[in-house]
Amino acid sequence: QLGSAGKEGGPLSQDATGVALPADVAEMVRKGEVGSLIGACGVTNFNAFQRIAMNEARVKIPLMVGHDMIHGVMTQAPIPLALACAWDEKTWQDCGRLIAVESPAKGCNWTFTPMVDMCRDPRWGRIAEGPGQDPYLGARMGAAMVKGIQSKAGVMPVASCLKHFAAYGGAEAGRDYNTVEMSESTFRNVYLPPFKAGVEAGALTVMPAFNTLNGAPCSVTKWLLTDILRDHLAFKGFTISDWCGVSECELDHHGMAETHAGLVDLAMDAGMDQDMMAGLYRKELVQLVKDGKVPMAQVDRSVRNILRVKNALGLWENPYIDEAKLASQI
């Protein structure tokens, strides 16, 4: 996944309709080197990038464009911590539905929402983005938000993303990105239920967390991303790292691998389908497959997971945002 803004002050490239796009991003889309973009890019740019993907790339696979829409897009709801206090599933689902209606107006069809991290330490800086400390309440709120976001209420279906898998809110001393140490009982009974409910509600994507869980980085841990998420929770969508989440597992951070190629090998084996922003898959994966270190079956698995989500969104039938319908609906 690549940022949609391109390099600051970089050259522009015009598509067939004269829309000016960041040349570096447009070229990567044209070469089929990215499957999604991050950052609200506007309706005109969304459609222009999509035309390149659908008409000029070797493989005609439509793009997804994701962005954080934590508690609304144009219509702002209370922060999730306050929304949880409403104890009202209809309100939560309506908030998700508004995100579904308004996200296309920003040039997005994917939102990195809801955040269902449990947190029992108010010092944690991201506590405002989640439903608080109670796993039952968090599970009900997260599931309702997923249903609202994926209600297909807008001019283009929008995918939700459960984050951050898992136990991100259990950071020691409430310090963001800090290590997390907990018993398996606490993990399964407090931190896992909201994700289970979100998966059962149909969440199409999941974002693994930055943190380590009992010494293992969530981004490259097979027990978490395959044994728990895929096998235990029966998740069928695709996983995407947090911002440079795979590259931050390098030796001087978590000691998992000495090279970027080694990290890609670990991440693919663990079940990380998409690499956000770091570009490690784009740079390293081809050679790893050629060298026989990453089996083609792993690549096929991740590609299949991503294509399944894009198909569920109906992107081949409806790849563009209808600006006339959008204006009427907004």
| Residues taking part in catalysis | 242
As beta bridge partners, residue 21 has 13
Nearest residue to 152 (alpha-carbon basis) of 72, 214, 96, 230: 96
Instruction: Give the separation between CA 240 and CA 238, rounded to whole angstroms.
Output: 7
Strand ranges inside 10-156, DSSP E = 12-14, 20-22, 36-38, 64-67, 110-111
Instruction: Give the separation between CA 30 and CA 303, rounded to whole angstroms.
Output: 18
Instruction: Give the separation between CA 31 and CA 23, rounded to whole angstroms.
Output: 12
Instruction: Give the separation between CA 35 and CA 310, rounded to whole angstroms.
Output: 10
Beta-sheet pairing, 110-111 with 64-67: parallel
Provide the angle, in degrees to the nearest 10, between the axes of the packed helices 280-290 and 260-270. 80
**Which strands make up the sheet holding 205-208, listed edge to edge?**
161-165, 205-208, 238-239
**Exposure b/e, 244-279, CB count within 10 A at least 16 = b:** bbbbbbbeeebebbeebbbbbbbbbbbbbbbbbbbb
